[in-house]
Amino acid sequence: MQNPHLRHQFHLYRYKIIAILLISFLAGVCPLQAQEKRMFFNTSSSDDQAVSYGFFLAAHNSSLRIKYSDNFMDPGYTDLHNVRAIMPVFSPGFALGFLVTGRIHDQVNVLFTPKVGFYEYRTELQLFSDNASSPEGTGFTTVPLLTEETLVEFPLLLKYKSERFNNTRMFFVGGLNGQIRTKNQEEANEDPVVLKGRDLAVEMGMGFDLYFQYFKFSPEIRFSHGLMNLYQPGHSDNRILGAIQDIRRKSITLYLNFQ
């Protein structure tokens, strides 16, 4: 009597057993399919070309690095007795340009990225005040000085990329950037802080190559530091004449590269 009872039990539960086995099978297959979908390898023909092209948009925060002259530090130099400090302030701007990539190796590229950048250099001139009720409440007033420039730039960079992991690569860039101002020196001499028209900067940065089906997107952050002294003696605001010895540009830029 036991055997018929055992067959009867299997007969009653066979649909449940089949359902459990089917669910277990689907649970094992679906994650595998999802993983294969996530692992879809987007091809990028630009990585295999000797020369490839693209464009970029950029937003930067820029400032001047000012070094005081010996006159400013000399208490006996009376022409600057009213000047408390000359303080550069970071100011936003933007740029746009083209991207030309030369392939040296799968992980090494040379980049030429000509661009046009729009810059504002803000400087706060702090003057001692005889009025104790000055806006700052500390015995001095602040006078804003603004210098606007449009620069044509020619960065030449070396790019080192990590090995590709799925659709992502990390990279580092570094090189030099030649800069030429669009307005002539006579016009620039009317600015409150007068700068020379040519500069050379060293640039270093890092970012990621993100591969999509039809293009490659590369966000990047880059630091730039000017190598040349841009100060033009004998000009600028009369209140700071003789106070400055050296001026250099510096900036932090976020690039959005499309290729």
The whole-number pLDDT of residue 38 equals: 52
Q: 85 and 27 in one domain?
A: no
Q: 212 and 134 in one domain?
A: yes
What share of the chain in percent tops pLDDT 70?
Answer: 79
Q: 49 and 16 in one domain?
A: no
Per-residue pLDDT tens for 159-194? Answer: 999 988 888 999 999 999 999 999 988 888 888 999
Per-residue pLDDT tens for 87-140? Answer: 999 999 999 999 999 999 989 999 999 999 999 999 998 888 765 554 555 578
Q: What CATH number corresponds to the domain at position 232?
A: 2.40.160.20
Q: 161 and 51 in one domain?
A: yes
Q: 25 and 84 in one domain?
A: no
Q: 241 and 181 in one domain?
A: yes
CA 245, 149, 153: angle at the middle one, nearest 5?
95
Q: 231 and 187 in one domain?
A: yes
| Total domains present in the chain | 2
Q: 119 and 22 in one domain?
A: no
Q: 195 and 110 in one domain?
A: yes
Record the tokens describing residue 18, joined without a space: 């089949």
Domain of residue 21, residue span: 1-39
Q: 31 and 125 in one domain?
A: no
Phi and psi based region of residue 133 (left: phi greater than 0; alpha: psi -120 to 50; beta: remaining): alpha
How far is the first Cα of the chain from the last one, in angstroms, to the nearest whole number?
78
Decide: 136 and 142 in contact? Cβ < 8 Å. Answer: yes
Q: For residues 252 and 2, what is the distance between their CA atoms, to the nearest angstrom? A: 84
In the chain, what's the furthest Cα-to-Cα distance? 120
Model confidence, pTM: 0.78
Mean pLDDT of the chain: 83
Q: 220 and 120 in one domain?
A: yes
CA 239, 240, 243: angle at the middle one, nearest 5?
140
Q: Smallest Cα–Cα separation from 95: which of 52, 151, 159?
A: 151
The whole-number pLDDT of residue 114 equals: 97
Band (pLDDT 50/70/90 cuts) for residue 4 is very low
Q: 102 and 17 in one domain?
A: no
DSSP sequence for 109-152: EEEE--EEEEEEEEEEEEEE-S-TT-TTSSSEEEEEEEEEEEEE
Q: Does the structure show a pLDDT above 60 at 152?
A: yes
